[in-house]
Chain A
Amino acid sequence: MKKVITGDHAVAIGAKLCRVDVVPAYPITPQTLIIEHIADFVNDGELDTKFLTMESEHSVMSAAAAASAAGARVFTATSSQGLAFMHEMLYATAPLRLPVVMANASRTLGGPPGIWCEYNDSMGARDSGWLQLYVEDNQEALDMIIQSFRIAEDKRVLLPVMPCLDGFVLTHTVEPVEIPTQEEVDSFLGPYEPDIILDPARPAMIGTFMPAEYIMELRRQTVAAFDSAKDVIREVNSEFSKKFGRDYGGLVDTYRMDDAKVALITMGTVTSTSREVVDDLRQKGEKVGIIKLRFFRPFPSEDLRKLVSNLDALGVFDRSISYHGGGPVYNEVRSALFGMKMPVINHFAGLGGRDVTEDQIFKMFELTSRAAKGEKVKEVNWHNTRGETV
């Protein structure tokens, strides 16, 4: 069934189709529509879930972790300051291996405060042990909620997953979305059946005080789960594509990369706009393509090295900064490509929700192409920023 709905609505429907047991919630723009839709589902009897109206995001993630530890499938959503407020609890959830799924409506993290799209909220959580992915449209938003639960609950992974969708650009934009049937989703995603949970019938201790002679192995174990997650993400993608007919490529997706000489690494909705730009440039005969970075954690280093091996130059789009020069994606990419000789050019755009236009993306390709030809190009470029020239 096709529906014309917002990204937030698509996420809510995704959670509903996953038959989530517990949803602790706290409102924050632009995530609010997600929890409002879920509240509607619950109050209309369409969804049998424990919907908890918590008093803060810190309590949301606390309740989420606790419910997950007690054996429930848990979903929630947040954004920006809310994600920052629950930061402490992100670090509790992941190493305890509690497969919570939380949508993040990407929004600038103040101050000064703003409500529009920027990735500095989720980038701050990149080392918390959560898997992190960015979607490009509302269909992918819905589909990735379903895939996220499959990935999170896989026994080889058992880690929380944070699908991020661009604030307003997706959360509040309607577009057609194919809604899978409950039967289809049920056959793709079985019930959550964890091994060890809080249960008086078989008492467990979870989150014990841990001396130094034990904690390093726990960290190492979590890294192993991240490694396994790469395979699981690819497997789940291919199974999903067989069942639902939509293939997202796994950790990364590509567009017109077959004979590309210059490529741009994009995330989120900028990927979508970039497709139009690439089509235009291709018509003009330029061999350009897009690498859509879907998962930022685990970071697809091996995939990237393969994809860029025939390029003359690579551009990297960043929607948040690290204050020391390059953006977090740029630094991660540079590290993944260490030893490869091609120029890698960083492009900042869209901070604080400033619209990332086709003109800006053309400029990103132009600068990267000039670098490909051996011209001197600045390593870090601020697009559409007063006082900066690109």
Chain B
Amino acid sequence: MITIKELSDDNLFTAGHTACPGCGVAMSIRNAIRVLGKDTAVYVPASCAVVFGTTFPYGAWKVPFFHTAFENTGACLTGMQAAFEKKGKKVTVVGFAGDGGTYDIGLQSMSGAAERNEDIIYICLDNEAYMNTGIQRSGGTPFGAWTTTTPVGSNIQGNQRFKKNLGDIVVAHEIPYYATLSIGHPLDFIRKVEKAKNMKGFRFLHMFTPCIPGWKMDPAKTVEVTKRAVESGMWTLYEVENGEKKVTYKPGKMKSVKDYLNMQGRFRHMSDEDINKLQMWVCRKWNLHYHEKGAPDICEVAPPVEHHAITEEHREMHGP
């Protein structure tokens, strides 16, 4: 496995790009491409990464770059890969899509590519909202978060739905590799990118990428906030290789989500009741991922009734 020291000095995503200071997406792209190397071709759908990575006639990418639209990452990667294969070229074909481009508008195209098991790497840079258009809610936005379309109003405060479980959706395609990554865990990050690079078929790397203006936080804390996300269970580090799930980093002790929420302005308004709701969601996730209850003082409260539990009424309607 490559260590930080052994990483290449090549700047395949050069300096001078126009991402915001402390951008988690820029940080993740730079290191992913360091590992993937120069025999790579990338597709970037509509997102901040298109704008800060290329503005005609300038570009940060030193590998082939293609962009056309928002919802078609899976399809464009498919086309690129088909052309390279037909021409006998060995190229790692990689997409860098945001959460909006993956959870929402690009889900169909991603699903098609996953189902066909295209020989490509799909990277989702998850910053939990539509940041390029100025911070609107996506299917990846966590419960409670302020965005401009889930404002903090006098009646309703923040996002009312929990973050979509994209991992399970992707894994349900029975693909060779799905992994979650955090830039705050460099060795785990490098290992997973390297592993994906050396595999065949549809590989999905789900990267947690803080957004400074969108999360309303200090630009110096990009890495720290991802570490806290993992320690609190808001983000879990695992991989599913050919159907086998493995947790790749387990926090020693579950920390309260408050530790994580407090760092970010987007959660500042949350009531104790809402924080507790979110904590229960995390507790359930924690139980699921780590096969154990979280910290007793946090998770003592009984988890809410399963949303999909089979009720009497359900049995009557649909049979057992």
Of residues 64 through 105 on chain B, the ones whose CB sits less than 8 Å from some CB of chain A are: 64-69, 71-72, 74-80, 82-87, 89, 91
Given A55-B108, A62-B109; A72-B86 close (CB under 8 Å): yes
Contacts A/B (CB < 8 Å), 15 sampled: A21-B83, A49-B86, A50-B83, A52-B82, A56-B109, A58-B75, A59-B109, A62-B68, A62-B76, A66-B78, A72-B87, A200-B64, A208-B59, A208-B67, A210-B55
Taken together as a complex, chains A and B put the C-alpha atoms of A88 and B109 apart, in Å, by: 15
Given A49-B86, A55-B108, A56-B108; A62-B75 close (CB under 8 Å): yes
The reply to whether A54 and B112 contact each other, CB–CB distance below 8 Å, is yes
The reply on B61 being an interface residue by CB < 8 A is: yes
Residues of A close to B84: CB separation below 8 A:
70
Taken together as a complex, chains A and B put the C-alpha atoms of A53 and B113 apart, in Å, by: 10
Residues of A close to B62: CB separation below 8 A:
203
Residues of B close to A53: CB separation below 8 A:
116
Residues of A close to B74: CB separation below 8 A:
59
Which residue from A67, A199, A203 sits with its C-beta under 8 Å from B61?
A203
Given A54-B75, A58-B109, A200-B41; A67-B63 close (CB under 8 Å): no
Taken together as a complex, chains A and B put the C-alpha atoms of A209 and B61 apart, in Å, by: 13
The reply to whether A209 and B50 contact each other, CB–CB distance below 8 Å, is yes
The reply to whether B76 and A63 contact each other, CB–CB distance below 8 Å, is yes
Instruction: Fill in one digit per residue for A1-33: 1 if any B CB lies within 8 Å of its CB, else 0.
Output: 000000000000000000001101000000000
Which residue from B40, B79, B87 sits with its C-beta under 8 Å from A66?
B79
The 5 closest A-B pairs by CB, nearest first: A66-B79, A55-B112, A63-B79, A59-B75, A70-B83
Residues of B close to A60: CB separation below 8 A:
75
Taken together as a complex, chains A and B put the C-alpha atoms of A116 and B70 apart, in Å, by: 32
Closest to A48 in B: B86
Taken together as a complex, chains A and B put the C-alpha atoms of A89 and B76 apart, in Å, by: 11
Residue from the set A54, A63, A74, A199 with the largest chain B CB neighbour count within 10 Å:
A63
**Closest Cβ of chain A: how far from B292's Cβ, in Å?**
39
Which residue from B43, B72, B83, B89 sits with its C-beta under 8 Å from A59?
B72
The reply to whether B55 and A198 contact each other, CB–CB distance below 8 Å, is no
Taken together as a complex, chains A and B put the C-alpha atoms of A200 and B37 apart, in Å, by: 10
**Closest Cβ of chain B: how far from A57's Cβ, in Å?**
10
The reply on B38 being an interface residue by CB < 8 A is: yes
Residue from the set A55, A65, A74, A214 with the largest chain B CB neighbour count within 10 Å:
A55
The reply on B39 being an interface residue by CB < 8 A is: yes
Residues of A close to B39: CB separation below 8 A:
200
Give me 6 other A-B pairs in contact (C-beta within 8 A), A66-B43, A92-B69, A206-B65 excluded. A70-B79, A198-B80, A200-B91, A203-B62, A206-B67, A209-B51
**Closest Cβ of chain B: how far from A50's Cβ, in Å?**
4
**Closest Cβ of chain A: how far from B268's Cβ, in Å?**
33
Residues of A close to B91: CB separation below 8 A:
200
The reply to whether B72 and A58 contact each other, CB–CB distance below 8 Å, is yes
The reply on A64 being an interface residue by CB < 8 A is: yes
Taken together as a complex, chains A and B put the C-alpha atoms of A68 and B82 apart, in Å, by: 10
Given A22-B86, A89-B72, A208-B67; A67-B56 close (CB under 8 Å): no
A-B contact count (CB 8 A): 161
Taken together as a complex, chains A and B put the C-alpha atoms of A200 and B85 apart, in Å, by: 14
Instruction: Fill in one digit per residue for B242-276: 1 if any A CB lies within 8 Å of its CB, else 0.
Output: 00000000000000000000000000000000000
Closest to B86 in A: A21
The reply to whether B86 and A50 contact each other, CB–CB distance below 8 Å, is yes
Residues of A close to B38: CB separation below 8 A:
200
The reply to whether A198 and B66 contact each other, CB–CB distance below 8 Å, is yes
The reply on A96 being an interface residue by CB < 8 A is: yes
Closest to B73 in A: A62
**Closest Cβ of chain B: how far from A40's Cβ, in Å?**
19
Residues of B close to A88: CB separation below 8 A:
69
Residues of A close to B56: CB separation below 8 A:
208-211, 214
The reply on A205 being an interface residue by CB < 8 A is: yes
**Closest Cβ of chain A: how far from B27's Cβ, in Å?**
20
The reply on A71 being an interface residue by CB < 8 A is: yes
Residues of B close to A66: CB separation below 8 A:
43, 66, 68, 75-80, 83
Taken together as a complex, chains A and B put the C-alpha atoms of A207 and B64 apart, in Å, by: 11
The reply on A69 being an interface residue by CB < 8 A is: yes
Residue from the set B55, B66, B71 with the largest chain A CB neighbour count within 10 Å:
B66
Which residue from B63, B87, B115 sits with its C-beta under 8 Å from A200?
B63
**Closest Cβ of chain A: how far from B248's Cβ, in Å?**
30
Taken together as a complex, chains A and B put the C-alpha atoms of A203 and B54 apart, in Å, by: 14
The reply on A204 being an interface residue by CB < 8 A is: yes
Taken together as a complex, chains A and B put the C-alpha atoms of A208 and B68 apart, in Å, by: 8
The reply on B111 being an interface residue by CB < 8 A is: yes
The reply on B57 being an interface residue by CB < 8 A is: yes
Given A56-B108, A198-B64, A204-B64; A67-B71 close (CB under 8 Å): no
Of residues 107 through 157 on chain B, the ones whose CB sits less than 8 Å from some CB of chain A are: 108-109, 111-112, 115-116
Of residues 161 through 209 on chain A, the ones whose CB sits less than 8 Å from some CB of chain B are: 198-200, 203-209
**Closest Cβ of chain B: how far from A378's Cβ, in Å?**
44
Residues of B close to A74: CB separation below 8 A:
79
Closest to A66 in B: B79
The reply to whether B68 and A65 contact each other, CB–CB distance below 8 Å, is yes
Given A203-B62, A208-B55; A69-B72 close (CB under 8 Å): no
**Closest Cβ of chain A: how far from B155's Cβ, in Å?**
36
Closest to B76 in A: A66
The reply to whether A211 and B80 contact each other, CB–CB distance below 8 Å, is no
Taken together as a complex, chains A and B put the C-alpha atoms of A66 and B41 apart, in Å, by: 11
